Structure formats: structure tokens, C-alpha cells
């Protein structure tokens, strides 16, 4: 059974149709890249999978582990194992990354009952591994974070929360080469048989570091071409224009 199966999805934002008949299927262990120009609806796709109430689905199906999740609240989807990383994650003043992640972890993995000390150890280990300064853990969520720090924080969360499906929205945008490598390493770190990854990006750049199994070209609310990594190369040379029908 597919981890995620989206069939004939149509969706509106502010009464404007943005997703126009989208199909995609992701299995455990696979890395998929969705590439598309600005305004194609890439971020909308991420929000639809996570369940952002701002978007209205007008037709189609989203099956997660075989179960239709349309209409399911955002937090329940997170508890099922869906994770969205954000291009511009929100600031939450007064709440430390550490406390927030412990709460989130306990909600998503209710049976583990990890002690606060073991959890702290895990956080430190992961920060070190991802070359994220430990002081990060005791700062307020995204408050005063640089663009790169925000992205690293999202990737740290991905590594800690261990979702089944990671939808990574423009995780590579606005990063210098060193930060890009850290983020890519953080993604590679979670790739494995228990997770499916949907990497949404505008640029081919990150694919030098993260190797997808499938590349989808996404234009005007639809996937217009699917193939292997060679599709990304093709895009780099020809641009999105060649795919516009």
C-alpha cells in the first residue's frame, strides 16, 4: 500500500482554483522531488497534505496509509506521522525550541514516555550531528533566527519528530552553500525504509546533495512530467518554459 496517494486533487484558495487535477503516489523509502516555477501551487500542495484550513479541496482524494485524510484536523495528521517543513516558519515568542519539541514529541509518540533528560540528550546529539549550535535549543522558536537558522531548525525538528511522511517546502531557498549542506545532510539523515519524502523546490541545486528517486515537474496546479533524476538535469538546461503546454 502506498504511504501517500493523491488522486485527481482539485483545490481552491480564496475562490481561485490552484490545484487542478493532481496525482502523485509516494511509498515508504522513496524520495520524491516536486519542482516548479513560482506560483505553480507548490506551497499549496504542502499545505493540503498537512491540512491547512485556509485551503478548500473541491475534488479528489488524499490517502495516507490507505486512509482518506481529507477533513482530518492538522494535529491528528501530525500524530499519524505527517510533517511539513515551512518556507517561512512562524515565530513563537517565549517558547523555547527545547520545550516545544518535547511537547510535540510526546504528542506524536505518546507511547515512548521519554524522560526530559533522555530527550535533552537526544536533542544535543542531534544538534551536534547537524552542526547546529546547542544554544539554539534554549532560544525562542524562530525569534531572531536568520533565514538559514530557521531552515536548520525545521530540519532539526524533522530529525527529532521522526515522521512517516516529510513534506519539505522550499527547504533550500535562501541558503548559502554551507547552510545548504547542513540542511541536505539533515534530510539524508532521515532517509530510510520507514519514511517517504516529498521535497518541494524551485531549484535543482539541492539535488546535488539529496538524491531523489523521482522528479515531478509541477506547473499550473498539475504534474506535467514524472521521471528519474535526469528530469531535473533536463529542467536545468531547458527551463520550465519547455514544459508549458
In the complex, the residues that contact other proteins under the rule CB under 8 A are: 50, 52-54, 73-75, 78-79, 83-84, 86, 89-95, 100, 103-104, 107-108, 140, 157, 161
Least distance between other proteins and beta carbon 198 (Å)? 14
Q: What are phi and psi of 232, to 5 degrees?
A: -65, -40
CB-based contact 39:202 (threshold 8 Å): no
Cα–Cα nearest to 17, from 221, 200, 219: 221
Least distance between other proteins and beta carbon 109 (Å)? 9
Least distance between other proteins and beta carbon 157 (Å)? 7
Q: Cell numbers 533528560 correspond to what residue?
A: 117
| Residue with smaller CB distance to other proteins, 44 or 157 | 157
For residue 14, give the DSSP letter.
T
CB-based contact 13:180 (threshold 8 Å): no
| Residue with smaller CB distance to other proteins, 66 or 93 | 93
| Residue with smaller CB distance to other proteins, 84 or 201 | 84
| Residue with smaller CB distance to other proteins, 33 or 142 | 142
CA distance 73 to 24: 22
For residue 220, give the DSSP letter.
T
Least distance between other proteins and beta carbon 142 (Å)? 9
| Residue with smaller CB distance to other proteins, 91 or 121 | 91
CA distance 4 to 6: 7
**Helix (H) or strand (E) run with residue 4 in it:** strand 4-13
| Residue with smaller CB distance to other proteins, 186 or 212 | 186
Least distance between other proteins and beta carbon 9 (Å)? 19
Residue 57, burial from CB neighbour count under 10 angstroms (0-12, 13-18, 19+): middle
Amino acid at each position: 500500500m502506498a504511504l501517500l496517494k493523491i488522486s485527481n486533487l482539485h483545490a481552491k484558495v480564496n475562490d481561485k482554483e490552484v490545484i487542478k487535477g493532481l496525482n502523485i503516489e509516494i511509498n515508504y523509502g522513496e524520495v520524491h522531488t516536486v519542482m516548479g516555477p513560482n506560483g505553480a501551487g507548490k506551497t499549496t500542495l504542502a499545505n493540503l497534505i498537512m491540512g491547512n484550513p485556509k485551503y478548500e479541496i473541491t475534488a479528489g482524494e488524499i490517502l495516507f496509509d490507505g486512509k482518506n485524510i481529507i477533513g482530518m484536523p492538522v494535529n491528528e495528521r501530525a500524530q499519524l506521522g505527517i510533517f511539513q517543513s515551512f518556507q517561512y516558519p512562524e515565530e513563537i515568542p517565549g517558547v523555547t525550541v527545547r520545550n516545544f519539541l518535547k511537547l510535540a514529541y510526546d504528542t506524536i509518540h505518546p507511547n515512548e514516555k521519554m524522560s526530559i533528560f533522555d530527550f535533552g540528550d537526544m536533542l544535543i546529539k542531534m544538534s551536534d550531528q547537524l552542526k547546529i549550535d546547542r544554544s539554539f535549543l534554549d532560544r525562542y522558536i524562530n525569534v531572531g533566527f536568520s533565514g538559514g537558522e530557521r531552515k536548520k531548525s525545521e530540519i532539526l525538528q524533522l530529525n527529532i519528530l521522526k515522521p512517516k511522511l516529510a513534506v519539505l517546502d522550499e527547504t533550500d531557498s535562501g541558503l548559502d552553500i554551507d547552510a545548504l549542506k547542513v540542511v541536505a545532510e539533515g534530510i539524508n539523515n532521515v532517509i530510510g525504509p520507514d519514511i517517504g519524502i516529498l521535497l518541494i523546490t524551485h531549484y535543482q541545486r539541492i539535488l546535488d546533495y539529496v538524491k531523489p528517486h523521482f522528479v515531478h515537474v509541477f506547473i499550473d496546479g498539475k504534474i506535467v512530467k514524472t521521471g528519474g533524476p535526469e528530469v531535473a538535469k533536463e529542467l536545468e538546461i531547458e527551463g520550465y518554459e519547455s514544459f508549458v503546454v
